[in-house]
Structure 1
Amino acid sequence: MIILNNALGFRLKTLQATTSTLLRGGRGNMGTPTPMQPEKSLILYEHEACPYSRRIREAMTHLNLDYESRPSPHKGHVYRDELKELAGKVQVPFLIDENTGDKILDSQAIIDHLFTNYSKKATTPEKYQKPNGDNATLINKATSAASMMRGIKSDYPKKNKARGKPDKPLHLYGFEASPFCRLVREKLCVLEVGYINHNVAREQIEDIGAFGIRLNLGQYKPIKGGKRERIMNEVMDGKLQFPYLIDPNTDTKMFESRDIINYLDKNYG
């Protein structure tokens, strides 16, 4: 089902993306202000509508880890072909961790690896352990259904393959549960455009809000010394709004999900 990016279509896509967040119980919102970011970038082959990839992204947000996303949607070839060569099969999620030398296919094994190596307690919290029971399966299917309505296949597989990878990876700042960030990730996925995903998880209750309004009605102050404070001061010139895209190939920096989607379509679609 193709939904246009006009005003009405964008509202509908935002509603669908918000539904996915609600069905996941808000996972992918909160994270540590002091992540244990590895020296070498984590590499994740994934596609946005895959429920197993979603579990990895939720864990990444909890740990507030940055990683390189190599979108591998159905019918795609930009990263999907090399995925088959590296993993031996076309299956996502697939994590490459050059810091430890690990290459991992199973989603729960990836999550356990992340918590073992990049959390202070070095153990996987219960809510990130493998879901059991029919209810968990139904929730996973329901959260994927909304994304599938917007498409899980490569939009222009031949054109994407001919274009290849951008000379420099794009940079996307946001967090998993944001419906506006989700829409941008979906567009990057179907266009098969690789990017560095900079997780900027909510770190405190004052960070919670929607549509520019936070629970804290006074002047917003991020946790001192936390990742949000650093991003706000070093990357966004004192502003904190998501999603935020940086494209070093065109020297473009921009906010607003709808504008970003239009930009991606124009330059890569």
Structure 2
Amino acid sequence: MATALRLPSLLSSRAAPTTAARATIRGNRAGSFTHRVAAQPDDTTATTSTTPAPPAGFTPPVPKRFEVKPGQSNNIAGAALALPFRLGTGVFVLGYGVTLVDANEISPDQYALDFQGRKVKETSKVGQCPRPAKPIEIYEFEGCPFCRKVREMVSVLDLDVLYYPCPKGSPTFRPKVLEMGGKRQFPYMVDPNTGVAMYESDDIINYLAKTYGDGSVPIMLKLGLLTTITAGLALSGRSGKGSSYTPAKLPSQPIEIWAYEGSPFCKIARETLVELELPHLLHSCARGSPKRQDFFKKYGLFQAPYIEDPNTGVKMFESADIVEYLRATYAA
């Protein structure tokens, strides 16, 4: 299931980039840039990052479904505050449907929830939508309401995205956005499948809907100012977590994470990835995602978040333990 992705060597160092990416600008409405990336940065002078190692004696925890680790109740409650403000946007994929069936109608190797002696069968429309051959790349950070809107759409469309975190004060990817697009503004999306790159959250959402969905946008993502306000309120329970940079070592390969925007457990794990400016390939797996079945077939259970770190070989569940592992391994 893991995907072998290696960061460009330019981004495997904290050294400042030496050559800006060249791009051809296409016209768009005022306040928004859309352009096609014409070349990759020159990385011939980049240096190699230090190879990270997990903490001494580290053992991945045993997954415990829906269990909150002692001392984490406030974190989970704060992250869950987003659900009522956003009416669950980012919890379900496009065209989500559910039916209750007899337990014997679902084979043991098929992912399904148990409910009062029956099984919950989930369906969606994402299997009918075009899928990107390469992960879409998005530069953003957790504490930004405009970025949250795009992350919700990513979950709705069940997309895999290579996130480049840009928390305030971060030295690598925040300056990179200025080089590529001409503005230090977030979110910023690059689609290597089409060559399209753009700012403006609403433009990105509409682009993703038309390119990798059925063209529709969930109601909570097209209410204009009200969408932005509720997205901001959704972040209020976390008091700025995922907004500011913590000095860290940059790995040579992105960390892979199975997560989705509507999960409070996934939220606290991704906040740490962002604060440490750790690039990560996110495999969206909201309710109704076909990836849940793929995951279940491989591991015999489904639980998110789950990470695989190709830099250390560590594979693990449990959000609070993931946070501890990331800080112990990558914080400078």
Q: Please report the TM-score for the alignment, with normalisation by the length of structure 1.
A: 0.81
Determine the structure 1 residue equivalent to 2:245.
Answer: 154
Determine the structure 1 residue equivalent to 2:178.
Answer: 84
Q: Deviations over 1:192-240 (max 9, x none)?
A: 0000000011018xxxxxxxxxxxxxxxxxxxxx332112213xx1110
Q: Give 1:36 deviation, angstroms.
A: 3.1
Q: Give 1:268 deviation, angstroms.
A: 0.8
Determine the structure 2 residue equivalent to 1:143.
Answer: 234
- Tell me the amino acid that sits aligned with residue 65 of structure 1: L
User: Secondary structure at 1:92's aligned position in 2?
Assistant: coil
Q: Give 1:79 deviation, angstroms.
A: 1.1
Q: Does 1:200 align with 2:285?
A: yes
Gaps spanning 5+ residues in structure 1: where? 1-5, 205-225
In 2, the alpha carbon distance for the partners of 1:88 and 1:130 equals 27
Q: Give 1:191 deviation, angstroms.
A: 0.5
Q: Does 1:188 align with 2:235?
A: no
Determine the structure 2 residue equivalent to 1:13.
Answer: 75
In 1, the alpha carbon distance for the partners of 2:142 and 2:180 equals 20
Determine the structure 1 residue equivalent to 2:118.
Answer: none
Question: What pairs up with 1:156-235 in 2 under 5 angstroms?
Answer: 156=247, 160=248, 163=249, 165-203=250-288, 226-234=290-298
In 1, the alpha carbon distance for the partners of 2:154 and 2:202 equals 13
Q: Deviations over 1:216-266 (max 9, x none)?
A: xxxxxxxxxx332112213xx111011001001110000000110000000
Determine the structure 2 residue equivalent to 1:210.
Answer: none
- Tell me the amino acid that sits aligned with residue 130 of structure 1: K
In 1, the alpha carbon distance for the partners of 2:261 and 2:218 equals 19
Q: Does 1:108 align with 2:171?
A: no
User: Secondary structure at 2:235's aligned position in 1?
Assistant: helix
Q: Give 1:143 deviation, angstroms.
A: 1.4
Q: Give 1:172 deviation, angstroms.
A: 0.4
Q: Deviations over 1:152-181 (max 9, x none)?
A: 11122xxx3xx3x31111000011100000
The structure with the greater share of residues assigned to helix is 1
Q: Tell me if structure 2 keeps the 8 A contact 1:73–1:152.
A: yes
Q: How many residues align?
A: 231
In 2, the alpha carbon distance for the partners of 1:263 and 1:104 equals 34
User: Secondary structure at 1:7's aligned position in 2?
Assistant: coil
In 2, the alpha carbon distance for the partners of 1:126 and 1:66 equals 19
CA root-mean-square deviation: 1.8
Q: Tell me if structure 1 keeps the 8 A contact 2:167–2:242.
A: no
Q: Tell me if structure 1 keeps the 8 A contact 2:148–2:231.
A: no
- Tell me the amino acid that sits aligned with residue 254 of structure 2: P
In 2, the alpha carbon distance for the partners of 1:19 and 1:129 equals 18
- Equivalent of 2:131 in 33, 37, 48: 37
- Equivalent of 1:24 in 86, 90, 106: 86
From the superposition, tell whether residues 26 and 69 of structure 1 become closer, same or farther in structure 2 (CA, over 3 Å). Answer: same
From the superposition, tell whether residues 23 and 230 of structure 1 become closer, same or farther in structure 2 (CA, over 3 Å). Answer: same
Q: Give 1:137 deviation, angstroms.
A: 4.5
Q: Does 1:75 align with 2:75?
A: no
In 1, the alpha carbon distance for the partners of 2:227 and 2:200 equals 17
Higher gyration radius (CA): 2
Q: Give 1:74 deviation, angstroms.
A: 0.7
In 2, the alpha carbon distance for the partners of 1:243 and 1:88 equals 34
Percent identity of equivalent pairs:
31
- Tell me the amino acid that sits aligned with residue 235 of structure 2: S
Q: Tell me if structure 1 keeps the 8 A contact 2:141–2:242.
A: no
Gaps spanning 5+ residues in structure 2: where? 1-68, 94-123
User: Secondary structure at 1:176's aligned position in 2?
Assistant: coil
